[in-house]
């Protein structure tokens, strides 16, 4: 990797001799600041440092870069010494995320994904965050890997550089970056707010201008404009303020043939995204009540009531502008059909809700391209592009809508006058315009882009370069950036070395398979960044697929497994079931041929515009056919390829030692602990027994009672409850599957009635316990799928609630409160290293937002859950923390762990004693996993791709 040493810094300065003194002053002052100031603790860099990666250089001095740029820039060019003699001026991109809306957690996820895929020697990224109160901060890139803004909101005053006002922030951007990439979803991000701020400061930015954003973001205004422009629209009624005219709404119901008492409608904010606040209502009174709730909760002061489109299929389409300069030339990618699966959720309305959008459950499935007639797919693409141009959108957007295959009387009066939407095969309705599409790793943007030849990096860079063409101040540098990219690419090609094969395996049949898919996808994408690695994603699945059983969403477990080696686009799916179905589609001749034809058609349209751009280097994804192998064949394939297996397979054979045994027998290296440690840690009872005699070291385990599922179902609930509470000497119990993780099936039981509800769910094979099913309020509890044969009961360990306030009483700073009456605090701790020499990362305190148990969302869904890393000293002292880490290392070495693992425990906040809960030998590796937070808290920080690379390298050094 290219580096800047002390000597190269001096040469760098000497090339700008006439400005050298001022540059030295700026550079020394700022680097010294970052070396000593706690404002950006991830940056441990100074002039005394021996070497610093050149591509990280400018990113490490975000506040200095503006003035340094003015000092170093000469005739529009920067010269930065690089490996292989490649010189050039990097493009400076500022990512702005956060915002005041409830979508700021999703914004953080999108920003992290953008950062992951665009940073490089030719493109330097600095990060900025706007909080709920419109305060702007320059933040370290490490903060973008937090699970949620609440992880760091309360520490912003000490953790980041605050700007005194948005005006000062905009002025900073005008001299610090070349172009801003806004990734704020919802209010202030898509309503024209951030765009207007940037326009006033003459700061180039990616995306649509402010006036056009305001028009398109407001769903009511957009619907009115769509109708004017000749598009079919959904009949709607606008409510402004809490004093709505009930009689007028009733007339609207009558006009559209809806029953006043039971007519089904959708109620939604006019200016919010991510389905926040969207609900189904029945009749006038219910509609008004839900509309007023939206206004009262502060989501929006304008609410739209729309006719519910029965029998419709929802779709979404990404549109990319491939025009030159100010000329707009929009091309729609292949749309995605959103299939809502409610067969077993009779009480849930058919809505693409926030939870369904961002949590990998089987309540939704995506199909790209849609399973619509070809003429409908083409009409959707044409309509989305036409809409993009009509609303004067720029660079990219996501446009949602509905396809109704049957004629709808509701539209009969207006269809004949419409220029677009009425087809022989049905009606197309465009319903929502998303100015800043979600950009999480498996989002619609990347799903659709990968189908037409774009990797994550390529599509994002294409959007950024296209945006640059619209600004005269950036056009002059376009060739320089293009040349730098080409030279760097050529230099890498010249240095090509034999690539090491890496097979990343995920999926499986356990209840953890969806989180496994998220983990494996994240590992695969991160390792792809290394030029010396050839990374192949692979999914373990039942040989006959996930065949539905008689009860709920439970799946029959096949007696044999297969492994699918996956092409790029097939990995970017919501669930393992989707991936499996996509594999079958990809090898089905007719469907494969149709997809190929549609993809080539879209690529030809894209190429017509992009071929005129000197920076476009072509498509970089080739659609291949997935390969189906038996598990044994796959292992032999790995052996022949001399591949290392990166295990991201949660639960089942991935953690119980089975896969490890097969790989060891074949002589194939793999990540994580070996056979014996895996087998011990998979069984929570065996883990406790292995640590049972360590009380003198301050290491304890929780008493456990094991119960068979059939025993729980067939025996007396009162007798079982009395037996369990007596043996465990606790009035409140924690129940969990004996060999599952990821919070599936974990619940707090306070009384025999709670046990009855839980056992009834097991007997009925329910996919989930709905919120507040038990005696105390809680969130949705995903049940193990398939149902576990054994369950563990433990005493519930009480901990004091940790409350993170938005503002203190004085209104100046955020803070957290912890009573400290109970001495135990729940933590999770990552460990890394070789067998017998495991190193504890910084523990994270896990904060439960709802209920007493961390939910599946709080653990793995980005934008939810709070992890305090490292633990605040107001809760755990440094001395207690160090003792905790020492004990965690003893636990890891006693259990024979190696590579990496995660240990969940309670720690005594006053003396560092540890009460072990469980050990995960294949921990979650999702983009928002707590392990990443802990690795970034190391000194020096370990960023995600380096973290996964270190895990991979440890696999080759594993002890015999």
With cut-offs at 50, 70 and 90, classify the pLDDT of residue 42: very low
Does residue 432 sit in helix, strand or coil? strand
Q: Please tell me the predicted confidence (pLDDT) of residue 831.
A: 98
Write the DSSP symbol of residue 770.
Answer: P
List phi, psi (to 5°) of 904.
-95, 135
The pLDDT of residue 18 is above 70: no
Say which residues have a Cβ less than 8 Å from residue 622's Cβ, sequence separation at least 6.
453, 567
Q: Please tell me the predicted confidence (pLDDT) of residue 506.
A: 97
The pair of three-digit structure tokens given for residue 557, joined into one six-digit string = 């477990």
Closest of 722, 792, 789 to residue 762, by C-alpha: 789
Please compute the mean of the pLDDT values over residues 731-738 and round it to a whole number. Answer: 90
Maximum distance among all Cα pairs of the chain, rounded to whole angstroms: 88
Q: Are 842 and 938 in contact (CB under 8 A)?
A: yes
The pair of three-digit structure tokens given for residue 231, joined into one six-digit string = 């598009």
What b/e sequence results for 253-289 when a residue is b if at least 16 CB atoms lie within 10 Å of its CB, and e otherwise?
Answer: beebebeeeebbbbbbbbbbbbbbbbbbbbbbebbbe
CATH number for 704-796 (one of 3.30.1490, 2.40.50, 3.10.28, 3.30.519): it is 3.30.1490
More confident residue, 378 or 33: 378
Say which residues have a Cβ less than 8 Å from residue 925's Cβ, sequence separation at least 6.
519, 520, 522, 523, 648, 931, 948
- CA end-to-end span of the chain: 32
Domain ranges of the chain: 91-207, 235-308, 496-548+556-672, 673-702+797-921, 704-796
Residues 762-806 have pLDDT tens digits of: 999 888 888 889 998 887 887 877 788 889 999 998 887 777 665
Q: Please tell me the predicted confidence (pLDDT) of residue 815.
A: 66
Residues 539-588 have pLDDT tens digits of: 999 988 876 433 333 334 445 789 999 999 999 998 899 999 999 999 99
Residues 183-198 have pLDDT tens digits of: 999 889 999 999 999 9
Does residue 879 sit in helix, strand or coil? helix
Residue written as tokens 């090509």? Answer: 496
What's this model's pTM, rounded to 2 decimal places?
0.84
Q: How far apart are CA 733 and CA 58, in angstroms?
A: 53
The pLDDT of residue 80 is above 80: no
Residue written as tokens 């004093």? Answer: 243
Q: How far apart are CA 864 and CA 862, in angstroms?
A: 6
Q: How far apart are CA 504 and CA 188, in angstroms?
A: 39
Q: Are 754 and 793 in contact (CB under 8 A)?
A: no
Please compute the mean of the pLDDT values over residues 256-266 and round it to a whole number. Answer: 92
Closest of 867, 919, 915, 951 to residue 151, by C-alpha: 867
Q: Please tell me the predicted confidence (pLDDT) of residue 63.
A: 38
Q: Please tell me the predicted confidence (pLDDT) of residue 788.
A: 83
Least confident of 400-409, 609-618, 691-700: 400-409
Q: How far apart are CA 168 and CA 489, in angstroms?
A: 37
The pair of three-digit structure tokens given for residue 814, joined into one six-digit string = 């955020």
CATH topology of domain 673-702+797-921: D-amino Acid Aminotransferase; Chain A, domain 1 (3.30.470)
Q: Which long-range contacts (CB under 8 A, 24 or more apart) does 410-414 make?
A: 410/235, 410/256, 410/257, 410/307, 411/232, 414/227, 414/232
Residue written as tokens 């050039």? Answer: 88
Peptide bond connecting 786 to the previous residue in cis, omega within 30 degrees of 0: yes
Crossing angle of helices 513-527/576-587, nearest 10°? 70
Q: Please tell me the predicted confidence (pLDDT) of residue 423.
A: 87
The pLDDT of residue 515 is above 70: yes
Query: What secondary structure does DSSP assign to 250-279, as a single string?
Result: HHHHHHTT--TTT-EEEEEESS--TTTT-E
Say which residues have a Cβ less than 8 Å from residue 231's Cβ, sequence separation at least 6.
383, 387, 418, 419, 420, 421, 429, 430
Q: Please tell me the predicted confidence (pLDDT) of residue 923.
A: 93
Mean pLDDT, the chain, whole residue set: 82
Q: Are 938 and 945 in contact (CB under 8 A)?
A: no
Q: How far apart are CA 498 and CA 422, in angstroms?
A: 56
The pLDDT of residue 880 is above 90: yes
Q: How far apart are CA 595 and CA 453, in angstroms?
A: 13
For 235-308, CATH gives 3.30.1490.20
Q: How far apart are CA 331 and CA 115, in angstroms?
A: 25
Q: How far apart are CA 252 and CA 881, in angstroms?
A: 63
For 496-548+556-672, CATH gives 3.40.50.20
> Could you tell me which CATH class the domain 91-207 is placed in?
alpha beta
Does residue 354 sit in helix, strand or coil? helix
Size of the chain in residues: 960
Q: Please tell me the predicted confidence (pLDDT) of residue 357.
A: 47
Return the percent helix, strand and coil in the chain, to nearest 5. 40, 20, 40
Say which residues have a Cβ less than 8 Å from residue 348's Cβ, sequence separation at least 6.
342, 363
The pLDDT of residue 74 is above 70: no
Q: What is the dihedral of CA 19, 23, 25, 29, to 10 degrees?
A: 170
What b/e sequence results for 691-725 when a residue is b if at least 16 CB atoms lie within 10 Å of its CB, and e otherwise?
Answer: beebeeebbbbbebbebebeebeeeebeebbeebb
Say which residues have a Cβ less than 8 Å from residue 577's Cβ, sequence separation at least 6.
362, 365, 546
Asked whether this chain's domains 91-207 and 496-548+556-672 adopt the same fold, the reply is yes
Q: SS3 string of 167-187?
A: HHHHHHHHHHCCEEEECCCCC
Residue written as tokens 């680097």? Answer: 31
Q: Are 499 and 533 in contact (CB under 8 A)?
A: yes
Residue written as tokens 């495991």? Answer: 838
Does residue 532 sit in helix, strand or coil? coil
Q: Are 509 and 555 in contact (CB under 8 A)?
A: yes
With cut-offs at 50, 70 and 90, classify the pLDDT of residue 242: confident
């Amino acid at each position: 990797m290219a580096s800047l040493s002390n000597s190269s810094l001096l040469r760098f300065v000497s090339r700008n001799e006439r400005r050298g003194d001022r540059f030295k002053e700026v550079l020394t002052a700022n680097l010294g600041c970052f070396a000593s100031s706690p404002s950006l603790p991830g940056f441990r860099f100074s002039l005394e440092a021996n070497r610093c990666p050149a591509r990280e250089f400018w990113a490490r001095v975000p506040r200095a870069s503006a003035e340094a740029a003015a000092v170093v820039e000469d005739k529009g060019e920067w010269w930065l010494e690089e490996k292989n003699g490649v010189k050039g001026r990097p493009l400076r991109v500022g990512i702005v995320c956060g915002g005041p809306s409830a979508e700021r957690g999703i914004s953080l996820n999108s920003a992290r994904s953008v950062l992951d895929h665009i940073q490089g020697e030719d493109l330097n990224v600095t990060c900025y965050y706007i909080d709920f109160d419109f305060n702007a901060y320059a933040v370290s890139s490490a903060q973008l890997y937090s699970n949620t803004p609440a992880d760091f909101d309360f520490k912003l005053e000490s953790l980041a550089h605050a700007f005194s006002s948005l005006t000062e922030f905009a002025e900073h951007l005008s001299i610090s970056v070349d172009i801003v990439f806004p990734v704020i979803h919802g209010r202030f991000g898509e309503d024209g707010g951030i765009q207007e701020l940037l326009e006033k400061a003459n700061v180039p930015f990616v995306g649509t201008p402010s006036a056009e954003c305001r028009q398109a973001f407001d769903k009511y205004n957009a619907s009115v404009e769509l109708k004017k422009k000749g598009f079919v629209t959904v009949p709607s009624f606008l409510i402004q303020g809490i004093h709505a005219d009930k009689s007028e709404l009733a007339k609207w119901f009558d006009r559209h043939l809806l029953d006043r008492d039971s007519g089904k409608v959708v109620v939604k904010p006019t200016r919010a995204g991510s389905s926040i606040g969207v609900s189904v209502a029945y009749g006038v009174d219910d509609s008004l009540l839900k509309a007023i709730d939206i206004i009262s909760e502060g989501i929006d002061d304008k609410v739209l009531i729309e006719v519910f489109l029965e029998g419709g299929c929802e779709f979404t389409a990404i549109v990319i502008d491939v025009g030159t300069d100010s000329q707009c030339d929009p091309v729609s990618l292949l749309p995605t059909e959103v299939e809502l699966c409610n067969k077993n959720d009779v009480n849930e309305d058919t809505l693409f809700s926030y939870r369904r959008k961002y949590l990998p459950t089987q309540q939704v499935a995506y199909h790209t391209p849609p399973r619509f007639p070809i003429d409908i797919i083409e009409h959707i693409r044409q309509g989305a592009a036409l809409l993009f141009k009509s609303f004067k959108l720029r660079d990219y957007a996501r446009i949602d809508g509905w396809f109704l295959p049957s004629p709808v009387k509701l539209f009969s009066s207006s269809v004949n006058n419409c220029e677009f939407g009425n087809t022989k095969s049905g009606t197309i309705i465009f319903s929502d315009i998303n100015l800043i599409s979600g950009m999480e790793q498996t989002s619609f943007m990347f799903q659709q882009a990968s189908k037409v030849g774009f990797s994550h990096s390529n599509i994002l860079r294409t959007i950024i370069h296209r945006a640059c063409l619209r600004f005269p101040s950036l056009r002059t540098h376009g060739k320089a950036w293009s040349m730098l990219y080409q030279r760097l690419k050529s230099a890498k090609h010249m240095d090509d070395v034999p690539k090491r094969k890496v097979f990343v395996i995920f999926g499986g049949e356990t209840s953890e398979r969806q989180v496994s898919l998220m983990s494996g996808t994240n590992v695969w994408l991160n390792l792809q960044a290394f030029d010396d690695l050839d990374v192949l994603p692979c999914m373990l699945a039942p040989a006959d697929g996930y065949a539905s059983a008689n009860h709920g969403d439970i799946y029959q477990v096949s007696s044999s497994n297969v492994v699918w080696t996956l092409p790029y686009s097939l990995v970017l799916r919501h669930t393992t079931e989707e991936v499996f179905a996509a594999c079958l589609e990809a090898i089905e001749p007719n469907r494969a041929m149709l997809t190929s034809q549609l993809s080539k058609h879209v690529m030809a349209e894209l190429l017509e515009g992009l071929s005129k751009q000197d920076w476009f280097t072509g498509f970089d994804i080739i659609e291949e056919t997935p390969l189906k192998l038996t598990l044994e064949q796959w292992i032999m394939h790995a052996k022949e390829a001399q591949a290392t297996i990166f295990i991201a397979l949660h639960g089942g054979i991935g953690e119980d030692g089975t896969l490890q045994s097969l790989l060891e027998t074949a002589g194939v290296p793999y990540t994580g602990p070996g056979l014996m440690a895996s087998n011990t840690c998979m069984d929570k009872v065996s883990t406790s027994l292995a640590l049972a005699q360590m009380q003198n070291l301050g290491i304890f385990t929780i008493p456990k009672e094991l119960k068979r599922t059939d025993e729980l179902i067939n025996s007396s609930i009162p007798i079982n409850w009395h037996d369990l509470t007596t043996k465990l000497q606790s009035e409140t119990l924690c129940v969990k599957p004996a060999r599952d993780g990821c919070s599936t099936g974990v619940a707090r039981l306070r009384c025999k009635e709670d046990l009855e509800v839980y056992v009834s769910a097991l007997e009925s094979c329910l996919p989930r316990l709905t919120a507040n099913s038990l005696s105390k309020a809680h969130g949705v509890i995903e049940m193990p799928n398939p149902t576990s044969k054994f369950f563990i009961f433990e005493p519930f360990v009480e901990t004091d609630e940790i409350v993170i306030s938005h503002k203190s009483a004085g209104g100046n700073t955020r803070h957290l409160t912890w009573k400290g009456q109970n001495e135990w605090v729940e933590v999770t701790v990552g460990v890394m290293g070789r067998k017998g020499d495991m190193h504890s990362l910084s523990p994270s305190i896990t904060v439960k937002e709802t209920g007493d148990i961390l939910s599946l969302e709080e653990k793995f869904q980005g934008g939810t859950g709070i992890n305090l890393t490292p633990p605040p000293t107001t809760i755990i002292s440094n001395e207690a923390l160090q003792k905790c880490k020492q004990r965690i290392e003893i636990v890891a070495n006693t259990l024979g762990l190696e590579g990496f693992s995660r240990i969940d425990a309670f720690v005594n906040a006053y003396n560092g004693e540890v009460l072990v809960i469980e050990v995960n030998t294949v921990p979650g590796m999702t983009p928002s996993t707590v392990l990443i937070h802990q690795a970034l808290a190391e000194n020096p920080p370990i960023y995600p791709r380096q973290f996964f690379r270190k895990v991979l390298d440890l696999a080759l050094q594993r002890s015999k």
